[in-house]
Amino acid sequence: MTGNGAAAISARGLVRIFGGKRAVDGVDLEVETGEIYGFLGPNGAGKSTTVRMLCTLLKPTEGQAVVAGYDVVERPGDVRIRIGAALQEAALDERQTGREILDLQARLYGLSASDRAASIARAVDLADIGEAMDARVKTYSGGMKRRLDLAASLIHGPEVLFLDEPTTGLDPVSRTQVWDEVRRLNRELGVTVFLTTQYLEEADALADRVAIIDEGRIVEQGPPTDLKRAVGADVIVVDLPPDAIAGAAAVAETVPDVDAVTQGRRGITIATADGAATIGSVAVALSGAGVHPRALTVRTPSLDDVFLLATGYRMSAVDPAADAGASGARGSSGP
């Protein structure tokens, strides 16, 4: 969903230090009203710490953040009444029913009886768990708990919704259901969504814009399509024995129309404007140098390629949902 140009979230020079370590190290970002903003990075990159500061759960060590028009340090109460948050662990009392949890949430926000009834009805529809709404939460699947948690976070009609890795640990079907709910609440309710994730596919599927965070710093930012286009029109993946990788990279860099070559544990990745036209030249050059790839494939760039260029390693090394054809290890890049 495209925003109207007004900032729902703004941060400048945001820093959080724990025991001398800068968990968040000078984050600048701006999220427009009505957009889904993806905050992408591996565990330990600073995603959750940033969210906790924006939600007023942690005070910044340095910098400033404004959410829904209010400073998170100077006016935390005004921020809290205008945001919803579904953090990594669903905060649900398993002894209660889904309906009881929604009612309690509405009462905690001080909604009147009539507003409470209307809000609960909307939340029941959003959660979409049928008769299970009147069953105890301990009987729910992981996907049902996550959808109920989403519905509870929206009970008071927040302007901004923070979702901190909402699908971690869910099976593929439940993950898709949560994605559908996020799209629907953004499209139908106009809620601004700040989504942290370590799943490349999730950020690509949901976010209007993505920020890549690594070691506490934003290293790349923009619409997923634009970020991938900046890598090149195509990527050639060359699967090689380990002892042939360095030599193959040197050869590939001499081939016309090759824009960039990166080395990894399983071979090299080549960025080019026209993979179909270039792959033959790459194969001939490698063969002439006595290098014999196990496989050569052409594909369009992914966010993993963007992450590689921005950080020097592949996100898929720590992303179990990433494309199997793009794996590596932190500290090394790979096809």
CATH number at residue 100: 3.40.50.300
**Distance of alpha carbon 117 from alpha carbon 272, whole angstroms:** 57
Q: Which of 203, 226, 249 delimits the end of a domain?
A: 226
User: Does residue 333 lie in a domain region?
Assistant: no
- Whether 182 and 238 map to the same domain: the answer is no
- Whether 44 and 101 map to the same domain: the answer is yes
Residue 326 has pLDDT above 60, yes or no: no
- Whether 258 and 211 map to the same domain: the answer is no
Q: Give the list of residues 6+ apart from residue 283 with CB closer than 8 angstroms, or none.
A: 293, 296
What pLDDT was estimated at residue 11?
97
What dihedral angle (degrees, nearest 10) is formed by the CA atoms of 59, 63, 67, 70? Answer: 90
What pLDDT was estimated at residue 324?
31
- Whether 93 and 45 map to the same domain: the answer is yes
- pLDDT-derived band at 316, boundaries 50, 70, 90: low
Chain mean position to CA 81: 25
pLDDT tens-digit profile of 209-262? 999 999 999 999 999 999 998 888 899 999 999 999 999 999 999 999 999 898
Q: Whole-number mean pLDDT of the chain?
A: 87
- Whether 88 and 207 map to the same domain: the answer is yes
pLDDT tens-digit profile of 121-167? 888 887 788 889 999 999 998 888 888 888 888 888 899 999 988 88
What does pTM read for this prediction?
Answer: 0.79
Residue 91, classed as helix, strand or coil, is coil
What share of the chain has pLDDT > 90, as a percent?
56
- Whether 202 and 85 map to the same domain: the answer is yes
* DSSP output for 244-271: GHHHHHHHHTTSTTEEEEEEETTEEEEE
User: Does residue 325 lie in a domain region?
Assistant: no
What pLDDT was estimated at residue 232?
80
Quote the tokens at residue 179: 């994605």
What pLDDT was estimated at residue 325?
33
- Whether 86 and 234 map to the same domain: the answer is no
Domain total of the chain: 2
Mean pLDDT of 264-286: 91
- Whether 98 and 23 map to the same domain: the answer is yes
Q: Which of 176, 204, 226 delimits the end of a domain?
A: 226
- Whether 59 and 195 map to the same domain: the answer is yes
Q: Which of 226, 260, 279 delimits the end of a domain?
A: 226
Residue 91 has pLDDT above 80, yes or no: no
User: Does residue 1 lie in a domain region?
Assistant: no
- Whether 32 and 179 map to the same domain: the answer is yes
- Whether 98 and 238 map to the same domain: the answer is no
Burial of 265 (0-12, 13-18, 19+ CB in 10 A): middle
User: Does residue 332 lie in a domain region?
Assistant: no
**Distance of alpha carbon 335 from alpha carbon 326, whole angstroms:** 5
Residue 315 has pLDDT above 60, yes or no: yes
Residue 147: which domain range? 7-226
Q: How many CB atoms lie within 10 A of CB 281?
A: 15
DSSP 97: B
What pLDDT was estimated at residue 314?
77
What share of the chain has pLDDT > 70, as a percent?
92
pLDDT tens-digit profile of 57-84? 999 999 999 999 999 999 999 999 999 9
- Whether 132 and 237 map to the same domain: the answer is no
- pLDDT-derived band at 182, boundaries 50, 70, 90: confident
Per-residue three-class SS string for 168-210: CCCCHHHHHHHHHHHHHHHHHHCCEEEEEECCHHHHHHHCCEE
- Domain containing 241 — which CATH number? 3.30.70
